[in-house]
Structures are given as C-alpha cells and as structure tokens.
Amino acid sequence: MVQLNNVRMVYSSSGTEALNGVSFKVDDGEFVFLVGPSGSGKTTIMKLITGEVNATSGRIIVNDFDMRRIKRRKLPQMRRTLGVIFQDFRLIENMTVYDNVAFAMRVVGASNRQIRKRVPYVLELVGLEGREKRFPNELSGGEQQRVAIARALVNNPRMIVADEPTGNLDPVRSLELMLLFEKINSMGTTIMVVTHEKELVNAFAKRVISIDNGVVIGDGMDGYFGNEA
Amino acid sequence: MTEWMGISGMKLNRVGYLIREGFRSIFTHGFMSFASVTIIMACLIIMGSVSLLSLNIDALIKDLENQNEVVAYVDEKINDDAQIRAIGDAIRTIGNVQSAEFVSRGEAMDKFMSNYDSDLMEGIDETVFRHRYVIHLTDISLMAQTKAQLEAVDGISEAKAHTQYAKAFVSIRNVVTVVSLVLIVILVFVSIFIMTNTIKLATFSRREEIAIMKMVGATNSFIRMPFVIEGLVLGILGGGLGYLAEWGIYDGLTVKVVGSMAGSFLNIIPFTSVALFVFIIFIGLGILVGVFGALNAIRNYLKV
C-alpha cells in the first residue's frame, strides 16, 4: 500500500519545486498507471516511494513504512517490499540472466537452495525459460526488461514500481510487457506503472493517476487525462 | 562491531559468497590489486627500514652511554676504608646512579701506566692519583644534575663528567625518534590514500552493481563487505611480502656493514631478534591500511 498526503517536494540543490500538495492512495492488489508529461513530477514520486529522496513536507507511507521518519538502516527492509523496474533495465552486463536474478536473492541473504528453486520459477513466469545462460547484450530489449521484471519479482515484493518500463520497447513488446504486469497483478502483487504513453494506458481499463506541474490533475478509471509527453 | 562488519545474523553461505566476491574483485582488477600490494609493500619497507635504523642507532647510543661514566674523586685526606665505603653507600642512594665501583689510587695508577710507556712514567708515585668511584648512570640526560649531587656528597672533592657528550647523544636520539615517527605517520597516510584510490576504482566500475544492490534492499554492511575483504587481503599480502623483502634487505645490508672495516666494530641487532615484532607490525599496518582504504573508498556510494 502506498499513501501520499499533501506531499511537497523542493529539490534543495536547484530550488525546483517538483511536487506541490500531491495526495493519493494505492491499495494492496491494485494496478495503477501514474501518467503525465516529462518533468511533471512522476519520477520524483518514484524516488520518494523508493526512498532515494526525502519529501520537503507531507506524509508518505510505503508498505507500512513512514518514509519521512524512516531510519537509514531500515531503508533496506523497506526496499525489500518493493520491486523496482527502470526504463534502461539496469542489468549487470557481465552476469548471465540467471545470475542477474539470483543476485537480487543473494543480496537479501537467501540460501543457495532457495535460489535454485525460485529463480527458474520466476524466469519461467516472465517467459525467459531457456535463456538462463545468456548475457544481457545477447537479448532483445523486451527480453532484457523481462529479466529486470524477474529480478524485481524474485524476492516476492508486495508491490512493483516500474518507471517508464516500455520507454525502450516497440508497441508490440510494450503491450506484451503490460500483459505480463497484468498477470503478475492477478497473482496479488500491487503494480504501479509510471508512463507517458497514452495509447498503452488507454488499452487497459485501469486506474490512472495523472500528474502535471507537480499537481494531481486526475485520478480515476477514465483513461489518460491531460497532455501526453 | 559485528554490525559494522556485517556479520550479524548472516548465514554461512552468505559469508562465503561475500568472501568469494572480495577475491573475485582482486582478480578482476588485477593490475590495480598488484599496484596496491606493491605500494603497501614499498611504504612498509621504507617505514620498516627507518624504524630498524632508528632501533640500531638507539642500541648504539645505549652502548655508548654505558661507556660514558662519571668519575667522583674522594677527598685526598680520606684514607679510611670504612669512611670510603660510607661515601660509596651515599653515592648509591642518589636516584640516577646505576652502579658505583670503587677504584683505589693504586688501581688507578696501574690502569694509567698500562696505557703508556712505563719507562717514561717511572718514578711516579701512586699518591699522585686519587681514590675514586667510577659511576654509571641510569639516565644520561640527567648527567649534569647527578654530577652536582655527587659533588654535594660529603667526602667527594670533585666529580668529572663529559656532559657535552651526553647532551649530543640525547639530542641525536631525540632527532632519530622524531624523524622516524614523522616518517611513519606520513607513510601510513600515503598508503591509506593510495589504497583508497585503488578501491575507489574498483567501486567506480561497480557503481551500477552497488546501485542495484541498494535498490533490491542490500544493507550497507553487505555491500561494504566484499570491498573490506578485498582491502584486507591486499593489506595482508602487502604486509607479508613487505616483511619478506624487509628481511632480505636487512640481512643483506647487515652482512655488508659488518663485513666492512668501520662496521666490524658495530653491534648490529640481528633480524631474527626483532622478526616477530616486525611481522606483527607489518601485517597489522597492512590490514589497517587495506581496511581503512576500503571503507574510505566505499563511503560515498552508500549514501543513497
């Protein structure tokens, strides 16, 4: 569950006001699109949720963690409840598909046995069976993003947050990816997809939170609201 | 402490993984690892050589100090044995007196005569010489003070001491100690600086990996551990190899110095008598430099 209450964010380095009074709540098990043009504040919301930056004022709850009061040493625990996916995949180039996914489990202290059991299951779930020994540069963009999804899923997070996951993919691959997210959502994981692709959003009848100029301008099931790109 | 090392609650296979990662990094950055080991080695050898030199100078000065004696002459009017013994006892109560040996005028003359051609000295009467106490001091730097105390003893007419030599010895020793300490401190910092930069290169090429680790919820100690292990291993390697090199250099130089004319009179400390001490210091400093360098290098990447 993610809840933002009257969140304001001013970057101290540049003095830019990225968010001004943003409030919304995403319940467990929901599938939500967070949309808006570039510079609208989408990425800032992502960073606030993952604990990369701290809000100037307001209240943010992520999976029961109060992000404005969280202690630094508690951040890893909070992050383990999230699976994060980026536009540029962020895979480790010199590791195989299998190791990229297993790596995320090792980091949180899983045993070799747990890893051997869980990784093939997750790779199959995202449709990458048979690709275990490939390296990221031997895969297509869509496949690389699936590795990133497998990595985000492998620790069984309560919520997946994807920042422009289809930004580097063609429309067909993008659609496939969204279907994959839908499948994951149907298994109980909350999904929040940050995007500015209107057509993709409108192809799914999901809740859409629209942001522009750091303010929520729409929240509902009516599709993409506001300007694209 | 355990939290800092990242061991708390960590399963054994996780420790194994972190150790493997540490070693992997050493080999992936082979050249930089080689460079850091060499630098640690070089710094330790310079440091060790300066310390061993200062140790030898110290021993040499101590040796010379022991030969530097104070002579206290007994009043010529006193010839009574009991009285002379009482003077000796009074001398020995002075704090800085390590030993006081009585030399009678007869013994003093014999010693004197043995140094010169006896024909020339024929006819010299032993009354020309005075009874005396030959005194060795505990602390040579207090020589002038002790001399005054000796002269204040009843029955001592005069005390002779080479205070100017004593001053020179003390100042040489002080200079050697200060110079070697300063050098050691500088070299420790230089080594930590170089080690920091070496591991920084390793962390730079792995910053993406570190960012991903943070993103999936790795603790700081978990991220730190492989780098600390890398620093530790490089430090131990540098320390160990430096120790062997130091041993070789020292033994080689000892043979040369003792073999030369001037050096044959010197009493050089054999390496074996300080080997354990040097080993502990080298390994200890190697570990200190390696681990501090690693912690220093990784600090910036852990802030997010």
Domains of chain B by residue range: 2-64+168-302, 69-161
- Judge whether A74 is closer than 8 Å to chain B, CB to CB: no
Give which of B67, B70, B78 is closest to B131, Cα–Cα: B78
B226: closest chain A residue by CA? A107
pLDDT computed for residue B7 by the predictor: 39
| Distance of alpha carbon A143 from alpha carbon A127, whole angstroms | 9
Residue B218 to residue A108, Cβ atoms within 8 A: yes
pLDDT computed for residue B4 by the predictor: 39
Question: pLDDT-based confidence at A151, cuts 50/70/90?
Answer: very high
Domain ranges, residue A108: 92-156
What's the token pair of residue B274? 């300080």
- Of residues B303 and A137, the one with the higher pLDDT is A137
Contacts of A50 in chain B (CB under 8 A): 215
- Tell me, yes or no, whether A175 lies in a domain: no
- Tell me, yes or no, whether A55 lies in a domain: no
- Judge whether A47 is closer than 8 Å to chain B, CB to CB: no
- Judge whether B12 is closer than 8 Å to chain A, CB to CB: no
A127: left (phi over 0), alpha (psi -120 to 50) or beta: left
What's the token pair of residue B40? 């640690």
Query: B125: part of which helix (H) or strand (E)?
Result: none
Write the DSSP string, B210-245: HHHHHHTT--HHHHHHHHHHHHHHHHHHHHHHHHHH
Averaged over A27-38, what is the pLDDT? 94
pLDDT computed for residue B47 by the predictor: 84
Averaged over A6-29, what is the pLDDT? 94
- Tell me, yes or no, whether A179 lies in a domain: no
pTM: 0.68
Question: What distance in Å separates residue B280's CA from the closest CA in chain A?
Answer: 35
Give which of B215, B15, B10 is closest to A92, Cα–Cα: B215
Task: Name which CATH class applies to B69-161.
Answer: alpha beta
What's the token pair of residue B124? 């010299």
pLDDT computed for residue B8 by the predictor: 41
Residue A29 pLDDT greater than 80, yes or no: yes
pLDDT computed for residue B9 by the predictor: 44
Contacts of B212 in chain A (CB under 8 A): 90, 92, 103-104
CB A46 within 8 A of CB A29: no
Alpha-carbon separation of residue A4 from A9, A60, A70, A195 (angstroms): 12, 5, 15, 19
pLDDT computed for residue A208 by the predictor: 95
CB B262 within 8 A of CB B60: no
Residue A108 to residue B304, Cβ atoms within 8 A: no
Query: B301: part of which helix (H) or strand (E)?
Result: none
Measured in degrees and rounded to the nearest 5, phi and psi for residue A216 equal: -75, 120
pLDDT computed for residue B264 by the predictor: 60
B252: left (phi over 0), alpha (psi -120 to 50) or beta: alpha
SS (H, E, C) chain A: CEEEEEEEEECCCCCCEEEEEEEEEECCCCEEEEECCCCCCHHHHHHHHHCCCCCCEEEEEECCEECCCCCHHHHHHHHCCEEEECCCCCCCCCCCHHHHHHHHHHHCCCCHHHHHHHHHHHHHHCCCCCCCCCCHHHCCHHHHHHHHHHHHHCCCCCEEEEECCCCCCCHHHHHHHHHHHHHHHHCCCEEEEEECCHHHHHCCCCEEEEEECCEEEEEECCCCCCCCC
pLDDT computed for residue A187 by the predictor: 93
Question: pLDDT-based confidence at A60, cuts 50/70/90?
Answer: very high
- Judge whether A205 is closer than 8 Å to chain B, CB to CB: no
Residue ranges in chain B modelled with pLDDT below 70: 1-13, 117-122, 202, 261-265, 303-304
Contacts of B183 by beta carbon, 8 Å cutoff, 6+ apart: B46, B47, B50
At A76-98, the pLDDT tens digits run: 999 999 999 988 889 988 899 99
pLDDT computed for residue B176 by the predictor: 80
| Distance of alpha carbon A106 from alpha carbon A85, whole angstroms | 18
- Judge whether B134 is closer than 8 Å to chain A, CB to CB: no
Range in A4-18, A156-170, B43-57 the model is least confident about: B43-57
Question: pLDDT-based confidence at A157, cuts 50/70/90?
Answer: very high
* Interface residue of A107, A112, A114, A116 to substitute, partner B, most B CBs within 10 Å: A107
Alpha-carbon separation of residue B228 from A107, A194, B19, B187, B242 (angstroms): 16, 38, 10, 21, 20
- Tell me, yes or no, whether A166 lies in a domain: no
pLDDT computed for residue B190 by the predictor: 81
Work out the number of other CB atoms within 10 angstroms of the CB of residue B280: 12
Average pLDDT, chain A: 92
| Distance of alpha carbon B23 from alpha carbon B9, whole angstroms | 22
Residue A228 pLDDT greater than 80, yes or no: no
- Of residues B194 and A128, the one with the higher pLDDT is A128
CB A51 within 8 A of CB A72: no
- Judge whether A71 is closer than 8 Å to chain B, CB to CB: no
Q: Give the count of domains, chain A.
A: 1
Model ipTM value: 0.83
